[in-house]
């Protein structure tokens, strides 16, 4: 379900589950993490492209498939120390561990976990007709894949808060105005190739140094954010309001939430 192809110094990682709009299964998290490790060890790679198979980048987490196997939820969230990255966070922040440029090529829907993966890339080339969203709140959950680490360097605090809270789709133009988009285009394939052509003209050592210096200049308290993401998600998974939110997202009416607890 994850294809890794290498050609002429370019690693192309394809989310390949087109019939499900490339929605993320547990196996895809495992394979994405393996792909990142594979690329990291390969010194011949000069750049990485992440894209979706077919018309869409990724429709987000396949909630039904993942929730059907509770052990997989534990495997996604498990970490040895609170500030460490769990598997869900590794497939976002892992792209930042690479010394080479990473481009997310976004067509169609880029939702939930799919958008979080794209936020882990260095650049996002987005089709003008694409739709984006952070959708976890619809299911009574919070974004917990490390995207909060990346958002602080892209979007103003109130806009990041609102984007995660309303959980609705936004247009590519709206995403561009927020700062989520590197380049809008009507041809993502050609725009990606143009960017690759420019990057490959530069020394790989120069690009690596620029990436690391830029990371430091925008670096938040990553370990604290990752710990809070996971802690919050575990609490939400055990919260009765989350079951109500899931039922509401599935179209069941007359849902009344219980009074909130202090966090």
259's tokens: 């009074």
Q: Are 13 and 46 in contact (CB under 8 A)?
A: no
d(CA 64, CA 47): 34
- pLDDT reported for residue 229: 78
* pTM, to two decimals: 0.88
Other Cβ atoms less than 10 A from the Cβ of 258: the count is 9
* The pLDDT of residue 31: 98
pLDDT for residue 231: 78
pLDDT of residue 246: 74
pLDDT given for residue 136 in this prediction: 86
Q: In the structure encoding, which two tokens stand for residue 130, read together? A: 């694409």
Q: Where are the beta strands (DSSP E) in the chain?
A: 2-7, 10-15, 47-52, 102-106, 109-111, 123-127, 131-133, 170-171, 183-185
Pairing of strands 131-133, 170-171: antiparallel
Provide the H-helix boundaries in 111-218: 113-119, 147-151, 157-166, 172-178, 188-200, 204-217
Query: What is the set of domains in the chain, with CATH numbers?
Result: 2-205 (3.90.226.10)
Mean pLDDT by 10 residues, the chain (263 residues): 97 97 95 98 97 97 79 83 88 96 98 96 98 90 86 92 95 98 98 98 95 84 79 82 78 72 59
Whole-angstrom Cα distance, residue 242 to residue 263?
Answer: 15
Determine the Cα–Cα distance for residues 12 and 21; give it in Å rounded to an integer.
18
């Amino acid at each position: 379900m994850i294809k890794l192809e290498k050609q002429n110094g370019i690693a192309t990682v394809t989310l390949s589950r087109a019939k499900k709009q490339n929605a993320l299964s547990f196996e895809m998290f495992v394979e994405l993490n393996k792909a990142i490790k594979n690329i990291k060890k390969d010194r011949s790679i000069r750049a990485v492209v992440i894209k979706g198979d077919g018309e869409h980048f990724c429709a987000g987490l396949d909630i039904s498939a993942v929730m059907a196997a509770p052990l997989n939820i534990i495997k996604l969230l498990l970490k040895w120390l609170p500030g460490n990255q769990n598997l869900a966070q590794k497939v976002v922040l892992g792209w930042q561990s690479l010394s080479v440029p990473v481009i997310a090529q976004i067509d169609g829907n880029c939702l939930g976990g799919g958008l979080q993966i794209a936020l882990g890339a260095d650049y996002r080339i987005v089709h003008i007709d694409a739709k984006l969203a952070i959708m976890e709140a619809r299911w009574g959950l919070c974004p917990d894949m490390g995207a909060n680490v990346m958002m602080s360097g892209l979007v103003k605090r109130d806009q990041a808060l609102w984007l995660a809270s309303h959980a609705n789709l936004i247009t590519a133009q709206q995403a561009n105005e927020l700062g989520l988009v590197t380049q809008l285009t009507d041809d993502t394939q050609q725009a990606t190739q143009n960017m690759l052509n420019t990057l490959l003209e530069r020394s790989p050592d120069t690009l690596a140094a620029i990436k690391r210096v830029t990371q430091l200049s925008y670096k938040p308290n990553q370990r604290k954010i990752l710990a809070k993401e996971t802690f919050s998600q575990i609490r939400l998974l055990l919260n009765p309001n989350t079951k109500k939110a899931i039922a509401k997202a599935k179209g069941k009416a007359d849902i009344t939430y219980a009074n909130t607890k202090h966090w």
